[in-house]
Amino acid sequence: MVIAKNIHKYYGDTEVLKGVNLTINKGEIVAIVGPSGAGKTTLLQILGTLDSPSKEEDFLLEVNGIRLQNLTNRMIAAFRNEHIGYIFQFHQLLPEFTALENICIPAFIGKKNRKETEQKAKELLRFLGLENRMKHKPNELSGGEQQRVAVARALINNPSIILADEPSGNLDSSSAESLHKLFFELRDTYNQTFVIVTHNQELADMADRKLTMRDGIII
């Protein structure tokens, strides 16, 4: 359901991605590992439409049968809202909003029904063991709780694919472990697809597939 063929990316004269090919199936958990500077984040951002491949080369980027290179910027923004969930190393929750509100924001942007969205957000909070934290603001939550709220926010629109960039990079080892377990529970419950850039060896070893990037290609 994600197909990337011959993805190149240049920043100025520097070729950061040198022809990446990748297919990811629904419900698969794929870890991308490799040294810093290998191009992992760049690839993840291109898969998630936050960045685009360099156009000098023929390429294919397809998610759920939709060819992203054929879409206008407006269509890409709508596509992203509907199909992609992101989890970052630093949770990027909005500090002035509660956990519940933070989770609902992507759905409100997508013009979803308020009541149904809040219902779904509460369900997710329950699933994540955070039902008692829904009115808390991010600074009233632990690092692990903040990251679980960020996971719920990534899930609120039922995205086809969740992209995570060092999701446990900022967590202590026990919070990291429970976050990793959560990814697998979500996959088992919702058949959710994950692509996770990580330096965490344990997570990479648990994944269905581990891809190693070096110097702009998958080796």
Using CB under 6 A, list all residues that contact ligand ADP: 11, 16, 34, 36-42
CB of 16 to ligand ADP, least distance (A): 4
Rank residues 34 and 53 by Cβ distance to ligand ADP and give the closer one.
Answer: 34
In angstroms, how far is CA 66 from the centroid of its own chain?
18
CB of 218 to ligand ADP, least distance (A): 12
CB of 39 to ligand ADP, least distance (A): 4
Q: Which of 44, 143, 37, 27 is closest to 86 using CA atoms?
A: 44
Rank residues 33 and 100 by Cβ distance to ligand ADP and give the closer one.
Answer: 33
Cα angle: 98, vertex 187, 111; to 5 degrees: 45
Rank residues 106 and 216 by Cβ distance to ligand ADP and give the closer one.
Answer: 216
CB of 82 to ligand ADP, least distance (A): 25
- The CA distance from 161 to 218, in Å, is 20
CB of 142 to ligand ADP, least distance (A): 26
Query: Residue 211 contacts by C-beta under 8 Å, 6 or more apart in sequence?
Result: 22, 30, 31, 32, 33, 218
Rank residues 39 and 144 by Cβ distance to ligand ADP and give the closer one.
Answer: 39
- The CA distance from 157 to 154, in Å, is 7
The CA-atom distances, in angstroms, between 39 and each of 18, 28, 36, 57, 177 are 9, 21, 8, 17, 25
Rank residues 17 and 186 by Cβ distance to ligand ADP and give the closer one.
Answer: 17
Rank residues 39 and 159 by Cβ distance to ligand ADP and give the closer one.
Answer: 39
- The CA distance from 68 to 152, in Å, is 25
- Measured between its terminal Cα atoms, the distance across the chain in Å is 21
CB of 23 to ligand ADP, least distance (A): 20
